[in-house]
Amino acid sequence: MHRSRHKGFTCLLIHSCPDCLDTVRSTTISVSLSYLVLDLVKITTKISILQKSTSKVTVLLERSPYRYVSVGVLENGFPDYRIQKFDEWTKRYKDMYLCDNAMQIDTAMEDFEYTKWLDPDPEVGAYRKWN
């Protein structure tokens, strides 16, 4: 393949010599395949998000403004436990914390201060000492 320059452009853009055309075709095919792979990854991600969002939510305990829920089963076979917090603006519950295991959600349900400690909101204080 040769790359002679014509008016500031390479031979790939001006001429239609066989070597240059083969290079352009192979580059186009590889770029097209990479876009197809990216599209497939996006579709797979959307499907997994839809599957998670369509899982049935089972409320284990509700203690305002938090509720402790189980949302289906994870890929590893264990239950998906979450702590959700009520949003006053939208009037809906949002996932606040995704628990690692059943022991963590049990601890959070028993110890309300632990739930507040897991809350990322800076206005929520946990384990405060009132003097």
Q: Say if residue 4's pLDDT is above 50.
A: yes
The pLDDT assigned to 37 comes to 72
Is 94 strand, coil or helix? strand
Tell me the pTM. Answer: 0.57
Q: How many CB atoms lie within 10 A of CB 128?
A: 8
Over residues 80-115, the pLDDT tens digits come to 999 999 999 999 999 999 999 999 999 999 999 999
Map out the domains of the chain as residue ranges.
12-51, 55-118
Give tens-digit pLDDT for 19-68.
555 555 566 666 666 767 777 777 777 666 656 555 688 999 999 899 99
pLDDT, position 8: 47
Q: Judge if the upstream peptide bond of residue 79 is cis by omega within 30 degrees of 0.
A: no
What pLDDT score does 49 carry? 62
Q: How far is CA 122 from the centre of its chain?
A: 24
